[in-house]
């Protein structure tokens, strides 16, 4: 019995949400149906699917999919379930093949998901139709790409990918434009981290400027007290990143948060505030800039490299850091269980050392032994425990900044030290959860 | 390293090296379990590298992300953080007990002043009602110095290095 419209609406107030949005199984199931089952979700990057026959596993909400490039060059997003007995067809993370063959009774599918062969065909009734839709692999009805980023939707209808992305296409543009050839390659090694808390907590934390100075104070202090000179081992990058979370009142008031319709958001001006700023002397960066200027010219290069947007959240499943070429996928598993996959890109045509920085950025921020991420994960789990251990009247406040947010002409708001990104996420959440009900 | 290049016993000199290496690894394990991280850091030579790859058989530490790839300098920052009460991950502090075994030395990789030692380690960690087991093969390059044996490099190949993990902060 699904939650009534009134019950869902009753979970979200303008300034607070009820704890059930983080803990309740029914709410979670509805999220999978009405958010992850409807909206556009990032599923793969084109660089993983260059040749016909290439495939890569993906998740859409809690469902298991395979993204393939078929012999016609078309991209397909197929459910990873044999239409015979239900076994998973694809059991590797990625690869290349001309047929997906079930290991149980050898049903055989082409890379477009069509059933092509079954053993002992003559024992099937004459009514059995190999071409019938129910025998083909179930597919995401809508698949679209934006500059190499492949998205899919489990809904036949809805806004186009461009409409869905809205102003967030700038985050993808900026990442792609940072490559002198306009081409990216997704690094094959990803970190897969689970935490025992709700998926929404990850997004709510990403564009919150108050928590870093608190949650990450131990890594900030460790870095600040570190006295040795940076060596060629990492050129001081690790120390700089740890110190980069030294958000004090100055940063709280300088870094503006842009909250957009659809639940999207980003931090504006993190580099202007001198966190992770470009260093005066940086021969690697000089070399990269020279290559960029050759392709784009001085002015355009500056425009690309100075775009100062951090943690670009494309709600509900990815976050992009264009400056360090990072991609994070957030997959809900259960109300109190979330999988985060973190990856980085190589900018094809840029110096190798630029990729080495992206790799070290990924390790420092997103490895299981990260000195930064681990404290976030612990806090998510404390929130989860606190909410599970509380009474039914527990409400989570999200009012910070309500009176200081300034409206943007193209929709959304901007201001510093605000929880507007969280409010915009719940605005979108409520919209999805009550749409057409 | 293939089987033919590994010896666990044989010539007397090899036995002596193996005994010294084993004793060193036991001591290292004891320091880590006792939480004596600064003492542990002193086992590392100045140019030492500490590496936990993210892929089985990983060859490259620059073009492929690692779970940890740090030098002595970065490790000293990591260790400073471990003792800070504001490190949520180590408050309450994790407790570990580790077993080091199957210690072998590689003759092929042997150089005049250094020794390549492989071992298997099981590290049982307990923290805040959670228990977990790290299983790994370690490869130490130990160097003979004026102050005795020092770690020139330590590589920890977790059997599940490329799997889904939860965050951890114990020193392996």
Q: How far is Cα A187 from Cα A67, in angstroms, rounded to an integer?
A: 17
Which domains are present in chain B?
3-158 (3.10.450.50)
- Best interface-test mutation with A: which of B77, B129, B156, B161 has the largest number of A CBs within 10 A? B77
User: Is B146 a residue whose pLDDT tops 60?
Assistant: yes
User: Is A81 a residue whose pLDDT tops 50?
Assistant: yes
- Does B63 reach chain A within 8 Å, measured CB to CB? yes
Q: How far is Cα A78 from Cα A7, in angstroms, rounded to an integer?
A: 34
User: Is B9 a residue whose pLDDT tops 70?
Assistant: no
User: Is B1 a residue whose pLDDT tops 50?
Assistant: no
Q: Would you give the distance in Å from CA A107 to the centre of its chain? A: 34
Average confidence (pLDDT) over B125-154: 96
B28 pLDDT band, cuts 50/70/90, is very high
- Does A95 reach chain B within 8 Å, measured CB to CB? no
Q: Nearest-CA distance from B70 to chain A in Å?
A: 8
Contact A371 B81 (CB under 8 A): yes
pLDDT by residue (tens digit) across A387-397? Answer: 999 999 999 99
Average confidence (pLDDT) over A340-352: 98
Q: Is A373 helix (H, G, I), strand (E, B) or coil?
A: helix
The per-residue pLDDT for B7 is 53
Contact B167 A339 (CB under 8 A): no
Task: For the beta carbon of residue B16, count every other beta carbon within 10 angstroms.
Answer: 10
Asked if residue A284 has a cis previous peptide bond (ω within 30° of 0), the answer is no
pLDDT by residue (tens digit) across A29-51? Answer: 999 999 999 999 999 999 999 99
The per-residue pLDDT for A436 is 79
Tokens encoding A370: 């990260």
Q: How far is Cα A295 from Cα A181, in angstroms, rounded to an integer?
A: 8
Going from the C-alpha of A88 to that of each of A107, A334, B74, the distances in angstroms are: 12, 20, 43
Q: How far is Cα A1 from Cα B80, in angstroms, rounded to an integer?
A: 53
Residues 325-364 of A with CB under 8 A from B: 339, 344, 352, 355-356, 359-360, 362-363
B113 pLDDT band, cuts 50/70/90, is confident
Tokens encoding A424: 């915009």
Write the CB contacts of B159 (distance below 8 Å, at least 6 apart in sequence).
B135, B136, B137
User: Is A203 a residue whose pLDDT tops 90?
Assistant: yes
């Amino acid at each position: 019995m699904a939650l009534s419209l009134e019950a869902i609406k009753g979970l979200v107030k303008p300034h607070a949400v009820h704890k059930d949005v983080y803990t309740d199984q029914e709410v979670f199931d509805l999220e999978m149906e009405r958010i992850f089952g409807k909206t556009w979700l990032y599923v793969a990057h084109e660089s993983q699917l260059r040749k016909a026959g290439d495939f890569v596993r993906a998740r859409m909400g809690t469902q298991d999919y395979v993204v393939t490039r078929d012999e016609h060059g078309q991209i397909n997003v197929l459910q990873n379930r044999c239409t015979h007995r239900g076994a998973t067809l694809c059991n590797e993370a990625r690869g290349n093949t001309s047929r997906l063959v079930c290991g149980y009774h050898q049903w055989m599918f082409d890379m477009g998901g069509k059933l092509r062969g079954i053993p002992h065909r003559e024992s099937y009734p004459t009514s059995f139709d190999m071409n019938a839709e129910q025998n083909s692999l179930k597919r995401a009805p809508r698949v679209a790409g934006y500059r190499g980023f492949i998205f899919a939707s489990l809904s036949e209808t809805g806004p186009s990918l461009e409409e869905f992305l809205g102003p967030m296409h700038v985050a993808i543009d900026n990442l792609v434009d940072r490559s002198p050839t306009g081409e990216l390659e997704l690094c094959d090694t990803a970190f897969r981290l689970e935490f025992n808390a709700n998926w929404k907590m990850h997004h709510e934390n990403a564009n919150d400027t108050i928590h870093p100075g608190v949650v990450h104070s131990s890594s900030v202090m460790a870095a600040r007290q570190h006295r040795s000179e940076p060596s060629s081992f990492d050129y001081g990058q690790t120390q700089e990143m740890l110190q980069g979370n030294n958000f004090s009142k100055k940063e709280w008031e300088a870094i503006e948060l842009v909250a957009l319709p659809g639940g999207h958001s980003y931090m504006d001006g993190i580099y202007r505030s001198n966190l992770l700023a470009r260093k005066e002397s940086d021969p690697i960066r000089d070399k990269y800039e020279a290559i960029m200027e050759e392709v784009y010219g001085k002015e355009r290069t500056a425009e690309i490299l100075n775009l100062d947007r951090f943690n670009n959240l494309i709600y509900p499943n990815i976050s992009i850091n264009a400056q360090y070429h990072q991609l994070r996928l957030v997959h809900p598993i259960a109300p109190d269980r979330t999988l985060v996959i973190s990856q980085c890109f190589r900018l094809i045509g840029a110096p190798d050392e630029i990729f080495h920085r992206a790799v070290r950025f990924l390790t420092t921020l997103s490895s299981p032994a990260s000195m930064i991420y681990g404290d976030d994960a612990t806090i998510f789990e404390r929130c989860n425990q606190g909410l599970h251990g509380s009474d039914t009247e527990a409400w989570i406040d999200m009012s910070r900044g309500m009176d200081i947010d300034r409206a943007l002409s193209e929709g959304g708001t901007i201001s510093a030290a605000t929880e507007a990104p969280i409010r915009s996420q719940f605005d979108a959440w409520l919209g999805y959860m009550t749409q057409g009900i | 390293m293939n089987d033919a290049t590994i010896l666990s016993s044989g010539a007397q000199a090899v036995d002596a090296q193996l005994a010294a290496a084993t004793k060193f690894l036991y001591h290292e394990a004891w320091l880590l379990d006792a939480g004596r991280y600064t003492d542990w850091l002193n086992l590392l030579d100045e140019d030492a590298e500490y590496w936990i790859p993210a892929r089985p058989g990983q060859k490259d530490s620059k073009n492929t992300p690692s779970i940890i790839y740090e030098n002595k300098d970065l490790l000293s920052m990591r260790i400073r953080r471990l003792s800070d009460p504001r490190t949520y991950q180590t408050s309450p502090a994790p407790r570990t007990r580790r077993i080091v075994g199957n210690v072998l030395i590689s003759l092929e990789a042997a150089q005049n002043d250094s020794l390549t030692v492989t071992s298997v380690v099981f590290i049982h960690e307990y923290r805040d009602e959670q228990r977990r087991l790290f299983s790994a093969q370690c490869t130490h390059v130990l160097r003979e110095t004026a102050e005795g044996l020092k770690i020139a490099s330590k590589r920890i190949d977790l059997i599940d290095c490329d799997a889904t993990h939860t965050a951890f902060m114990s020193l392996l």
